[in-house]
Amino acid sequence: MKWWWQFRKRGADVERELQSDLELEEEEQRDHGASPEESRYAALRSFGNPTLISEQTRAVWSWNALENFLRDVRISVRTLFRSPGFSVLAVLVMALCIGAATSLFTVMRSVLLRPLPFRDPDRLVMIYENFRDAESNAQWSDKTPVAPADYLDWRAQTHGFEDMAAWYYFPPNLTGEHEELPEMVQAGGGSWNLFPLLGVNAAIGRTFTESEDRPGENVVLLTWSLFQRRFGGDSSIVNRQIHLNGKPYTVVGVLPKWFVYPDAEVQLWTPYAGIGADVISHHEYHFSRVVARLRPDVSLASALSQVEAVQYQLHMQNLHAPVAADVISTTLIDDLAQDVKKPLIILLCAVGCMLLIGCLNVANLMVARSAARQREIAICSALGAKRITLIRIQLIESLLISMAGGITGVLLSLAATNWLVGIWKDLPTAQNVHPDGVVLAVACALIFGAALLAGLLPAISSTSKSAIAETSSRTPSHTAAGGQVRTALRKTLLTVEIATTVVLLIAAGLLLKSFWRLRTTDVGCATDNVLTMRYSLPGKKYDSPTKVNAFNETLLERVRALPGVRAAALGSTVPGAGYGTDDLFTIPEHPAVAAGAMLPEALYRTADPGYFSALQIPLLSGRFFTDSDRTSADRNGRPKTVIISDQLMRQYFPGENPLGLHIHSMRGNADYEIVGVVGDTRYQVGQSDKVTTYFSLLSGDNSTGLTLVVRTSSDPLRISIPVQKVIAELDAQLPVSHVLTMEQIIEQSLGNASLSASLVLGFAVMSLILASVGLYGVLSYLTIQRTGEIGVRMALGAQRGEVVRLMLGDGLRPAFYGLVLGLAASVGAVRLIQSMLYGTSPLDPAVFASVAATLLAVAALACLVPAWRASRIDPMQALRTE
């Protein structure tokens, strides 16, 4: 405020100086003998206009520009208050558009643009294996997790990276020091160098040492959130023990609060090698994520080419196994945001379109208003206002509108961002989503950009010489010609608006249709009234297959006895719940696979005898598992029988009856007799079918955890507590997890398809409303302008119907041009969303047609009212006002 005080002081100083000098002049005149009055006039005469002088003097201090600006702001505020309806509408439009844009940008900035909180985050990359054929890549797009032996070879044999670390997810059963309070948690198995590589030190204690990253070393690191939540932030937990899957682990440290990687679900970390020496030696178990830090003096390409060479060698050495021939890398920040990057960019584009439409609409409103103010502008211009001043005043008006809208919008966006982050799944959490300086700067830029876009065009057109000349020289009834410039401008603006709306509507339509397709996919099993929950029997307590079987069978027996339960069964997983595990197999009865070709791959599932009937997966031929299967057993004690999916039969036994033939499973390393063929199921919504093998669960196998499936006669969620009570009766320390209905599982795998689709739809509907308001405005304005002409037409015998047709045609023409333009632009724009579509062609004719129909209908509706009003014009009245 100092400058304001100085400004006031300077002004007063100038006044005082002039006053004192003027008085002196006056005194001198009096000294020469003039009368007081005469001397005053003489002084003024010789002095000139004191007000003008003071203004000119003050201009020296360049406060003048500010004063002018303040005056213009005053005028603009007054003008805006004179038409509150217009102002409120324009501010609201701007607030919505700028608010939505700011919210999305806040998310984008936090997720994609702000550097990760790690040491030198720019040099961190993720490396994945990359299969060269599309089919093998389908499951992971093109980034397949790395097999542990591959990672170890990369690390040992390449030199382009400072270091490479690896980690994997695993879900242990966490119990306390005395095995109390069981809880299924998500955990990370990270190599000892992961934390130094990321530049993370333990907040309490230490991270892993190299010697701890060996099988059998039971140490654990807690994340800050688990430390606070479960251990009350008591640092004496360090060096004490907790239990994971019944085994004691020593807590060596607690990770800092800011460390949330890879996501907030991971609660604790154990050393990478803890998964077991036999697993680590494998080249085909794809479960690790590899983080690498590039050496500063090496380019990514050359560092990667070394890894590629090593990987190709491994591929050539393991031709029968799924060992990728290639590698692919991505930056760490993109890797964290990979699931949200595309939708985010699409949403930003959508909100950008909406902002453009909002600006055009305000521009349109201002053009309409400038028509009403043409007289005022002509008078100002005649009184000597420069064109630049007139433009400036109008620009200040649009600036005020967009500033009021922008500030409201930014406030709105604070709330909207929280809401968005709350409902947006898969949003990376390594960064807090919150607005920062850059976001505010961008919001300001948006405000000024919007003001310029909305204000400049109408300002320039309304102050052009021809526009002013027309108003000042012609009588009101002949302004049609003058209005034509403006009308043409408004129609152009409208065409752009409508074209943009069409693009948005088509994008929304495609996303919605694709979402609907996803939602209604048949995963191949019952989805109504099915409850699932997972548990994992701790190996220490259930150390023999007999104990496992006993628990499972008692559980099923008791659950089946619960009222409202139609069927209950156990399996490794259910359809729709994800890829799970897979297995390589050969068919002993068939000729051996050619050397160099990969062995056939199938999803690997375990199921108990009741699994298929409980999930209503149809039996196509043969039989389900039965207790009599127990007579034959492989090395794990598993019955040597297998059930295959329909697709496996079609693909590998074409024209053959597979029943009685065998599958040699690499996992079981034995031949299994095919006893049945069941219908296909999808492992995930949106993925294509994959061949599946089912092995009998009767072995007491407990390696991967189990999913309990309960089909009920009514709301499945109501049966969850009774089932959990049954489990607690059997083993009070056994936690259950993932208590979900089949419907919820499918909903989860839809991810953000519904969110993106509904947000884009929201933006599109907003745009449609804005465009139709614009259309309505233009036509109403046109009607008023052409009142005289229409009066003449009607006086000469034009029918009301013809007038309606005339006016409708006038309004629908820009709508039609916009539609054609928009449809053409959409053909290009849909490429952007092509990869997000499922079962929907980007040029889906139904979507295109319905968008065109909707738009034309809305446009016709918006034009109908003004057209009808035009046809009601009383010719006498119209002619008299001439």
Partner 1 sequence: MSKSKTQERAALLQGTLDMLILRTLLYGPAHGHQIGKHVQRTTNDFLQMQHGSLYPALHRLEQKDWIVSKWEVAPDRNREFKYYRLTAQGKKQLVLEQSKWKRMVEAVARVLSTAAEES
Q: List contacts with partner 1 (CB under 8 A).
A: 13-14, 16-18, 20-21, 23-25, 27, 46-49, 52-54, 56-57, 59-61
Distance of closest approach, residue 485 Cβ to partner 1, in angstroms: 27
Q: CA-CA distance, 8 to 649, in Å (whole number)?
A: 91
Q: CA-CA distance, 667 to 582, in Å (whole number)?
A: 9
Distance of closest approach, residue 9 Cβ to partner 1, in angstroms: 12
Distance of closest approach, residue 465 Cβ to partner 1, in angstroms: 17
Classify residue 384 by its DSSP letter.
T
108 within 8 A of 413, measured Cβ to Cβ: no
Measured from the CB atom, the residue of 43 and 829 that comes closer to partner 1 is 43
128 within 8 A of 328, measured Cβ to Cβ: yes
Query: Which ranges of 633-706 does DSSP label H, i.e. alpha helix?
Result: 646-652
Measured from the CB atom, the residue of 27 and 177 that comes closer to partner 1 is 27
Measured from the CB atom, the residue of 14 and 255 that comes closer to partner 1 is 14
Measured from the CB atom, the residue of 18 and 821 that comes closer to partner 1 is 18
Measured from the CB atom, the residue of 48 and 809 that comes closer to partner 1 is 48
Q: CA-CA distance, 429 to 762, in Å (whole number)?
A: 26
Distance of closest approach, residue 380 Cβ to partner 1, in angstroms: 19
Distance of closest approach, residue 476 Cβ to partner 1, in angstroms: 34
The rounded Cα 104 to chain-centroid distance in angstroms is 8
Measured from the CB atom, the residue of 54 and 306 that comes closer to partner 1 is 54
CA angle 711, 716, 722 (to 5 degrees): 95
Measured from the CB atom, the residue of 17 and 557 that comes closer to partner 1 is 17
CA angle 620, 622, 625 (to 5 degrees): 105
Please report, as a single letter, which amino acid is at residue 410.
V
Measured from the CB atom, the residue of 47 and 170 that comes closer to partner 1 is 47
Q: Whose CA is closest to 80, among 360, 451, 371, 399?
A: 399
Measured from the CB atom, the residue of 21 and 153 that comes closer to partner 1 is 21
Q: CA-CA distance, 102 to 442, in Å (whole number)?
A: 8
Measured from the CB atom, the residue of 10 and 434 that comes closer to partner 1 is 10
Distance of closest approach, residue 56 Cβ to partner 1, in angstroms: 5
Q: Which two tokens stand for residue 734?
A: 């056994």
Question: In sequence order, what are the residues at sequence separation of 6 or more whose Cβ sits closer than 8 angstroms to the Cβ of residue 192?
Answer: 207, 208, 209, 210, 212, 213, 271, 272
Distance of closest approach, residue 45 Cβ to partner 1, in angstroms: 11
Distance of closest approach, residue 882 Cβ to partner 1, in angstroms: 41
Question: In sequence order, what are the residues at sequence separation of 6 or more whose Cβ sits closer than 8 angstroms to the Cβ of residue 353?
Answer: 500, 501, 503, 504, 763, 767
Distance of closest approach, residue 63 Cβ to partner 1, in angstroms: 11
Which residues in 798-836 are b (16+ Cβ under 10 Å) and which e? beeeebbebbbebbbebbbbbbebbbeebeebbeebeeb
Q: Per DSSP, which regions of 353-397 are E strands? A: none
Distance of closest approach, residue 384 Cβ to partner 1, in angstroms: 13
Measured from the CB atom, the residue of 55 and 436 that comes closer to partner 1 is 55
Question: In sequence order, what are the residues at sequence separation of 6 or more whose Cβ sits closer than 8 angstroms to the Cβ of residue 590?
Answer: 652
Question: In sequence order, what are the residues at sequence separation of 6 or more whose Cβ sits closer than 8 angstroms to the Cβ of residue 608?
Answer: 552, 556, 569, 570, 571, 625, 696, 697, 698
Q: CA-CA distance, 783 to 777, in Å (whole number)?
A: 10
Distance of closest approach, residue 395 Cβ to partner 1, in angstroms: 23
Distance of closest approach, residue 57 Cβ to partner 1, in angstroms: 4
> What is the H or E stretch that residue 127 is in?
strand 124-130
Measured from the CB atom, the residue of 34 and 820 that comes closer to partner 1 is 34
List C-alpha distances in Å: 623 to 543, 667, 678, 701. Answer: 31, 23, 9, 21
The rounded Cα 518 to chain-centroid distance in angstroms is 18
Distance of closest approach, residue 58 Cβ to partner 1, in angstroms: 8
Distance of closest approach, residue 51 Cβ to partner 1, in angstroms: 11
Measured from the CB atom, the residue of 20 and 688 that comes closer to partner 1 is 20
Distance of closest approach, residue 469 Cβ to partner 1, in angstroms: 21
Burial status of residue 372 (CB atoms within 10 A of its CB: 0-12, 13-18, 19 or more): exposed
DSSP for 541-565, written as a single string: TS-SHHHHHHHHHHHHHHHHHSTTE
Question: In sequence order, what are the residues at sequence separation of 6 or more whose Cβ sits closer than 8 angstroms to the Cβ of residue 266?
Answer: 169, 186, 187, 188, 223
Measured from the CB atom, the residue of 17 and 436 that comes closer to partner 1 is 17
List C-alpha distances in Å: 58 to 22, 75, 257, 389. Answer: 17, 22, 58, 20
Q: Whose CA is closest to 77, among 400, 337, 345?
A: 400
Burial status of residue 462 (CB atoms within 10 A of its CB: 0-12, 13-18, 19 or more): buried
Please report, as a single letter, which amino acid is at residue 865.
V
Measured from the CB atom, the residue of 58 and 486 that comes closer to partner 1 is 58
Distance of closest approach, residue 19 Cβ to partner 1, in angstroms: 10
- Across the chain, which distance is largest between two alpha carbons, in Å? 140
Measured from the CB atom, the residue of 42 and 348 that comes closer to partner 1 is 42
Measured from the CB atom, the residue of 22 and 599 that comes closer to partner 1 is 22
626 within 8 A of 616, measured Cβ to Cβ: no
Distance of closest approach, residue 464 Cβ to partner 1, in angstroms: 20
Measured from the CB atom, the residue of 30 and 566 that comes closer to partner 1 is 30
Distance of closest approach, residue 368 Cβ to partner 1, in angstroms: 34
